[in-house]
């Protein structure tokens, strides 16, 4: 019997797919750091039984229209705004994602980005490498305290809760805004629910950890930045399109807010000449929220476990 054909849109380690080699025939795009061209992806999807894709792959209705025998699309991410889930459902295609396994790692990165931005770590590193450090001075590269400040988390999902636990360790006051209240989280972490505008006006650190939906697209707009303290620091580790980047640039350039730490952008990859990258009060990372060797391997294994479950006639572990 012919084994199901699974196409993987990036090159991944052979050791990851080896345990599944008896169940499936695999083919991978040969490059790990470049996306598969659209024409090649369309050609592969025509004959693929399953697809393991990246968050940067656009799995839209046009692509699904040529997926003649596709049974499952496994997305290497928690978010799935890159996939037309409704179109997949109409065609009987299961869509899966990778929650849980990346929660703590992404929370680590989010809090590290907050700390690096507040304490001007990247700027300070560059200061020495450019041979600018000539003397000690009382306010040399003075940043902002983190401990005992107020953190405002917009999006109290798994990652938001994990970030809140880290904030608690720094003695921070925790505010959060979410579609629904999390009473257990409030009790466990002494977190306080706030409406969006209240959170913006009170918080010293405002974090975007929301999924990208029609409701959250550009939720951080010009009005939102106008509500923040002039000393506020904005962190985005969710999706770039939750932010009006022109409004953010203006807020940073005019010191309407103090600084920003960004791991995601409206258009990715972001270019070195992008206006936000040019600002000294902005720390920019290349969308590496879950990027540790251990976590990325766990995410890939979960994708493959989901694919295996579908072809075994079982429910996948993490369906969308």
- Looking at the annotation, which residues are catalytic? 239, 268, 287
Report the greatest alpha carbon distance in the chain.
Answer: 74
- Spatial CA neighbour of 264 closest among 282, 244, 288: 288
Q: Which residues contact 267 (CB under 8 A, 6 or more apart)?
A: 240
Chain centre distance of CA 218: 15
Helices 103-118 and 121-129 pack at an angle, to 10 degrees, of 60
What are the angstrom distances between the C-alpha of 69 and each of 5, 92, 268?
Answer: 10, 10, 30
Q: Is 234 helix (H, G, I), strand (E, B) or coil?
A: strand
Sheet containing 72-76, strands listed edge to edge, beginning at the edge strand earlier in sequence? 25-28, 5-8, 50-54, 72-76, 94-96
Give the whole-angstrom CA distance, residue 285 versus residue 171.
26
Can you spell out the DSSP letters for 80-130?
-TTB-HHHHHHTT-EEE---STTHHHHHHHHHHHHHHHHTTHHHHHHHHHT
- Residue 163, exposed/middle/buried by CB under 10 A (0-12, 13-18, 19+)? buried
Residue 271 sits at φ, ψ, to 5 deg, of -95, 155
Strands (E), the chain: 5-8, 25-28, 50-54, 72-76, 94-96, 150-154, 173-177, 191-193, 205-208, 233-236, 259-262, 282-284
């Amino acid at each position: 019997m012919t084994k199901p054909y699974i196409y993987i849109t990036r090159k991944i380690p052979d050791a990851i797919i080896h345990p599944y080699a008896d169940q499936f025939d695999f083919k991978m795009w040969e490059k790990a750091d470049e996306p598969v061209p659209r024409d090649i992806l369309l050609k592969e999807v025509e004959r693929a039984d399953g697809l393991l894709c990246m968050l940067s792959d656009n799995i839209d209705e046009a692509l699904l229209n040529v997926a003649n025998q596709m049974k499952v699309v496994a997305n290497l991410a928690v978010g799935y705004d890159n996939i037309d889930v409704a179109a997949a459902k109409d065609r009987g295609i299961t869509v899966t994602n990778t929650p849980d396994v990346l929660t703590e790692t992404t929370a680590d990165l989010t809090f590290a980005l907050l700390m690096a931005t507040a304490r001007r770590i990247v700027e300070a590193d560059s200061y020495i490498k450019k041979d600018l450090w000539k003397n000690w001075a009382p306010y040399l590269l003075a940043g902002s305290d983190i401990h005992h400040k107020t953190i405002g988390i917009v999006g109290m999902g798994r990652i938001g809760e994990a970030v809140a636990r880290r904030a608690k360790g720094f003695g921070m006051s925790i505010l959060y805004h979410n579609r629904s209240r999390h009473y257990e989280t409030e009790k466990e972490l002494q977190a306080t629910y706030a409406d969006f505008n209240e959170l913006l006006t009170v918080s010293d650190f405002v974090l975007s950890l929301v999924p990208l939906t029609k409701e959250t697209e550009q939720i951080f707009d010009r009005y939102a930045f106008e509500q923040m303290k002039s000393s506020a620091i904005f962190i985005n580790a969710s999706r770039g399109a939750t932010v009006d980047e022109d409004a953010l640039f203006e807020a940073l350039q005019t010191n309407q807010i103090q600084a920003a730490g960004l791991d995601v952008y409206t258009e990715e990859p972001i270019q070195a000449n992008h206006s936000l990258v040019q600002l000294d009060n902005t720390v920019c990372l290349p969308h590496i929220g879950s990027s540790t060797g251990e976590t990325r391997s766990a995410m890939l294994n979960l994708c493959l476990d989901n694919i295996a479950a579908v072809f075994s006639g079982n429910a996948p572990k993490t369906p969308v």
